[in-house]
Amino acid sequence: MLLCICTTSAADGLLSGTPIGSSPSVDYSNNASATTTKNLPADAFDGNLNTFFASYDRSYTWVGLDLGSPHIITRVGWSPRNDGLGPGRMVLGVFEGANQSDFSDALPIYLNDQQGVIGQMDYADVSCSLGFRYVRYIGPNDARCNIAELAFYGHRGNGDSTQLYRPTNLPCVVIHTKDMQLPYDKVNYIESYVQIISPDNSVLKDTAGLRLRGNASTNFPKKPYRLKFNTKHKVLGSPANAKNWTLINNYGDKTLMRNIVAFHVSEVMEMPYTPFCRAVDVLVNGEYKGCYQLSDKIEVKKGRVSIDEMEPTDLVGSALSGGYLWEIDGYAYLEPQPYYSPYGMPITLHSPKDDQIVPTQRTYFENYFRALEDKVYKASATNTEWRSYIDFMTFGRYFLTNEMCGNPDVFWSCYMYKKRDDQKAYFGPVWDFDIAFDNDDRQYPEANHTQFIFGGASNADGFARHIAFADQRSRDELTELWHRGRNRGISAEELTAFVDSVAQALDASQHLNFLRWPILSQRVHQNPVALGSYAAEVDRLKQFLTMRVSWMDNKLGYTWHPFNNTDANETVIRDNEGYRIYDMHGRMIYEGDELPSLPQGIYIIQHHNQTEKIIR
């Protein structure tokens, strides 16, 4: 007798049940007229590879079985419809299991990324320990769910959720909308049930509203979404406990990581708050939608922009002074009540919101911004009043992060905030790098530009220029912040290594993403070039980062030198080595045996093989 060591139990037979599915299509005759032959759900379970199920609707359609009681599925099988399109119509087909008859609680159990073979069954093992009463196959986009045969294998049982399926190594966001409605605008939320499966098999489950979000990105076929959970959650280890989350589509960004890299730069540059984000796979109503970024919504909240949130009753004194969160916003004209500053900057108030802010607060904000803007535009070597209105540390970090990333949107959309009892305006968080890193045909190639990107024509460029180059102190402080960043991880080597690590983590997901959206050889959005492969897009990103670090060094008149290059093994103090003093541009301004008296400023002093920064 043969001993069989199998991962599936002996009871894992072919399962039978009641065939269920979307409304079927009818066959058409050779002269394109409808016949009475329907392609029913039962046709996918009749053991005949020449009969098939096909749905009436083109997408989000499915066929499956009601097993009568929960079963743990250990294997699925399929065969394509026997016609020219059949094999290709299997790519990105998704298998799901559920315990609600409307599949609202469905979880994926397998995603197929291969073409089918006519006249043959293909099989895949399923690794999901949870039992399901209802199982189904959802055809990919525009395939009318054409399929000749389906097979589910398994055994009866409720199982448990110790092992769940994800299409790739990334967390998976599984969304089912009520009656399979799809979000259609940025106002109306569609009632949904959302499950986010983590790599550790934990699942966040809640009802949520789903709507579109974004501006230019809303028009792409791969839609960006806003999720609003019924209750607050920390998602995938996020700092914030919040209801509102964004799913960024990264359609025009074929590296799928421009925002991830930019947020990394923001963190290295020590922005006080960088939005949380995680790359995820997204499924909506059983259809694979691609690799997205689940990210914070920019809002006033602990763990996000953590300032006082104003109440409508905050009308005097300290309470009236903040917090406020606003955006210099090229799309402000689309908002219900935008504010245009005296110098013509369009501003969207985010907290309190444009259309909710009480008049006293709106007046306070407008007066405040008018005063701030006026001081900035009057900035000069002798007029530094603007410094009592602008937090230069966040301005400089914001500016340098965006310039390092080559973001043409930098002052087209620029978040700022004001704290309670603090007159200064703070910059940040950074946001939206879709067309950064040389992904804008209007700017391409960035290497040919001799000016900072914000020297362009967008809303707040003049405003930013006045702050960045108000005087020598501003220029020195920018260089000083750049110097800090260079010592903390802004280098060609470290940034390209970071990109490589992200590319590795995204590899399985990018493969599926570009099966779903085959645009690698096509210029979309503002793409200056289309390189035909994911690897080539990632290489181009790395080349940009390498170029940009030196470009920034040159532009800031900066030569890299470490804050502290003390060699732990260096024990001999060579007294005769003397002093070398560098200014913040990396220029050596003194070499000699005595430490000279220095004018006010920031210097790097090398002495006895030790380097230190001093402020005089």
Residues between 556 and 615 with contacts to Ca ion, criterion CB under 5 A: none
Token pair, residue 590, equals 């003194």
Closest distance between Ca ion and the C-beta of residue 172, in Å?
30
Considering just the CA atoms, what is the radius of gyration of the chain in Å?
A: 29
The answer to whether 51 contacts Ca ion (rule: CB under 5 A) is yes
Residue (46 or 366) nearer to Ca ion, CB = 46
Query: Which of these ranges, 143-151, 345-353, 467-475, 565-573, lies near Ca ion under the rule CB under 5 A?
Result: 143-151
Residue (80 or 183) nearer to Ca ion, CB = 80
Query: Which of these ranges, 33-41, 43-51, 187-195, 258-266, lies near Ca ion under the rule CB under 5 A?
Result: 43-51
The answer to whether 146 contacts Ca ion (rule: CB under 5 A) is no
Residue (149 or 391) nearer to Ca ion, CB = 149
CB-closest chain residue to Ca ion: 51
Report whether 205 contacts 195 (CB < 8 A).
yes
Closest distance between Ca ion and the C-beta of residue 95, in Å?
17
Query: Which of these ranges, 142-150, 152-160, 516-524, 527-535, lies near Ca ion under the rule CB under 5 A?
Result: 142-150
The answer to whether 46 contacts Ca ion (rule: CB under 5 A) is yes
Give the list of residues 6+ apart from residue 536 with CB closer than 8 angstroms, or none. none
Phi-psi sector, 303: left (phi>0), alpha (psi -120 to 50), beta: left
Residue (46 or 476) nearer to Ca ion, CB = 46
Token pair, residue 246, equals 């964004």
Residue (37 or 384) nearer to Ca ion, CB = 37
Residue (41 or 108) nearer to Ca ion, CB = 41
Cα 166 off chain centre by = 19
Residue (9 or 48) nearer to Ca ion, CB = 48
Size of the site for Ca ion (CB under 5 A): 6
Give the list of residues 6+ apart from residue 431 with CB closer than 8 angstroms, or none. 275, 298, 413, 415
Token pair, residue 111, equals 């995603």
Report whether 579 contacts 610 (CB < 8 A).
no
Closest distance between Ca ion and the C-beta of residue 19, in Å?
11
Residues between 489 and 528 with contacts to Ca ion, criterion CB under 5 A: none
The answer to whether 443 contacts Ca ion (rule: CB under 5 A) is no
CA dihedral (466, 469, 473, 477) in degrees, to 10, reads 100
Residue (47 or 599) nearer to Ca ion, CB = 47
CA dihedral (592, 482, 404, 381) in degrees, to 10, reads -100
Query: Which of these ranges, 146-154, 162-170, 529-537, 554-562, lies near Ca ion under the rule CB under 5 A?
Result: 146-154
Closest distance between Ca ion and the C-beta of residue 134, in Å?
20
Q: How many residues does the chain have?
A: 616
Closest distance between Ca ion and the C-beta of residue 295, in Å?
44
Report whether 52 contacts 43 (CB < 8 A).
yes
Residue (48 or 158) nearer to Ca ion, CB = 48
Residue (84 or 518) nearer to Ca ion, CB = 84
Of 77, 94, 107, the residue nearest 12 (C-alpha): 77
Rounded distance, CA 107 to CA 175, Å? 9
Query: Which of these ranges, 38-46, 91-99, 395-403, 522-530, lies near Ca ion under the rule CB under 5 A?
Result: 38-46
Is 70 strand, coil or helix?
Answer: strand
Per-residue CA distances from 196 to 140, 204, 276 (Å):
21, 5, 16
Residues between 147 and 166 with contacts to Ca ion, criterion CB under 5 A: 148-149
- The interface mask with Ca ion, positions 92-131, x = CB under 5 A, is ----------------------------------------
Closest distance between Ca ion and the C-beta of residue 50, in Å?
7
201-204 long-range Cβ contacts below 8 angstroms, 24+ apart = 201/161, 201/162, 201/163, 201/164, 203/107, 203/161, 203/164, 204/233, 204/235
The answer to whether 48 contacts Ca ion (rule: CB under 5 A) is yes
**What one-character-per-residue DSSP string does 572-608 give?**
---GGG-EEEE-TTS-EEEEESSPPP--SSEEEEEET
Closest distance between Ca ion and the C-beta of residue 55, in Å?
15
Binding residues for Ca ion (CB under 5 A): 43, 46, 48, 51, 148-149
